[in-house]
Each structure stands twice: as C-alpha cells, then as structure tokens.
Chains A and B, each alone.
Chain A
Amino acid sequence: SAVISQKPSRDICQRGTSLTIQCQVDSQVTMMFWYRQQPGQSLTLIATANQGSEATYESGFVIDKFPISRPNLTFSTLTVSNMSPEDSSIYLCSVQRGAGQPQHFGDGTRLSIL
C-alpha cells in the first residue's frame, strides 16, 4: 500500500485562526479524500480532492470553511478556516489508487481549538 504522510500530526490552535493540513503520498493515486472524526465518533467524509479542479464536498461541508487543494496526483491540503471549539477533531487523509482498490489512510491530524 502507499506510504501516506500527513502533517502536522497534532496542533492546538486559537479560536478564529486557520490551519492547513498536508497529505503527501509516495506514489501517484487516482483519488484522495478528507475525513473528519469528531471525539468518540466515527469518520465522516468532508470532500473528495480532485486533481486540477474544485473539490467535491459532502452535505454539511462547504468550501469557505474547508478549502481543499490538490495540485497533483501525490499531494493535497485541507484548510480548516476560522476555527471554533466545535472543529476540534481528528482529520484524516485517505487515498485510493484506482477503481476497485481499497482506501488507505494517513496517520491523522489531531486538532484542538481553545
């Protein structure tokens, strides 16, 4: 499976600030995704990061709050904007090499907002 590096692994941020999380894969992948895992909860898909075009967001998530970039087939970023304590979660990047392949996850970013 691909080696997925996610940075930072954790951060503590002030209310109202923004943080960008990076996801780097060691080989080209077709699909990249961003998930959120709120404390004690399961994973929820935020968006699919599309290479060279705007991300596809799931219901309840908007681009202004969670802007996503994917400049190439090995890298993506997720920004959590204007953070509030409700944004305290683990954010996970996942990748899928191609159709029919399983998704593999990065180590996640644990974000705490004071």
Chain B
Amino acid sequence: AQTVTQSQPEMSVQEAETVTLSCTYDTSESDYYLFWYKQPPSRQMILVIRQEAYKQQNATENRFSVNFQKAAKSFSLKISDSQLGDAAMYFCAYRSMWNNAGNMLTFGGGTRLMVKP
C-alpha cells in the first residue's frame, strides 16, 4: 500500500516571500500521479497542481511549482510571492495510474500554512 508523509505540521511565511512544503511518499509502482490540494477554512478542497510520474519536467501553475524527485520519492510544493489568501491546509496526495489499483487518492497528513502580513 502507498503512504504519503508530510513532515511539517505547520509552516509560516512572510507575505511576498517564498515557502516550500515537503512531501514524501512510498510506492512500488513506477507510474502514478501526485497532487497538491489546498483546503482553506471554508473546507473546500481545491486542486493546486498535479504531476505525472512519467514526466521529468516539474509542473508549474502560476506562483505554484513542484520539485519532483522520483528516485527520492519526494514531491515538494513551492509557493512564490506568498499572498494572504494562500493561508490554508495543504495536502499532498498520491494516486495510482492503473485502474485495477483503483483511483483512490491517498493523502498525507497535511501542512498548515500561515501567511504573515
């Protein structure tokens, strides 16, 4: 079974600065997806960014980018030019690429990001 670990329960960043959230995972599969979701106090889960394991290029979405290290099984999220609206819980998630393994998401424990004005 796959596991996802987020070793930072809480992080804080100054507005306009850059912060990196860590995520490691354990799997025996070679093909899979990785995701970062954001959950603000409103509790809605919002997809931030996704990465396919077969792609070497790191995914980027505006101020959000990832550092995907497949051999190290590491998938960190970098938030540049942090804004007050970035304050939320961030969850890293893993999903197998193969249907017979299910499409379930396996989530890490989450990192609470605080943004200081």
Contacts and interface: CB of A to CB of B under 8 A. Distances in A.
B107 interface: yes
Interface in B98-112: 99, 102-105, 107-110
A41 B104 CA distance: 17
Interface stretch (B12-20, B43-51, B79-87): B43-51
A69 interface: no
Q: How large is the interface on B (under 10, 10 to 19, 20 to 34, 35 or more residues)?
A: 20 to 34
B91 A42 contact: yes
Contacts of B42: 107
Nearest to A58: B104
A102 interface: yes
Contacts of B45: 43, 92, 94, 105, 108
Given A48-B102, A102-B50, A43 B107 contact: yes
Interface in A4-54: 31, 33, 35, 41-45, 48
Interface residues of A, number: 26
B110 A42 contact: yes
Nearest to B45: A105
Given A90-B43, A110-B43, A102 B103 contact: no
A82 B36 CA distance: 34
Most B CB within 10 A of own CB, among A35, A41, A43, A104: A43
Interface of B: 33, 35, 37, 42-47, 50, 91, 95, 97, 99, 102-105, 107-110
Given A100-B33, A102-B50, 18 more contacts: A1-B47, A31-B103, A35-B105, A42-B91, A42-B107, A42-B109, A45-B105, A48-B104, A56-B102, A102-B47, A104-B47, A105-B37, A105-B44, A105-B46, A107-B44, A108-B43, A108-B44, A108-B45
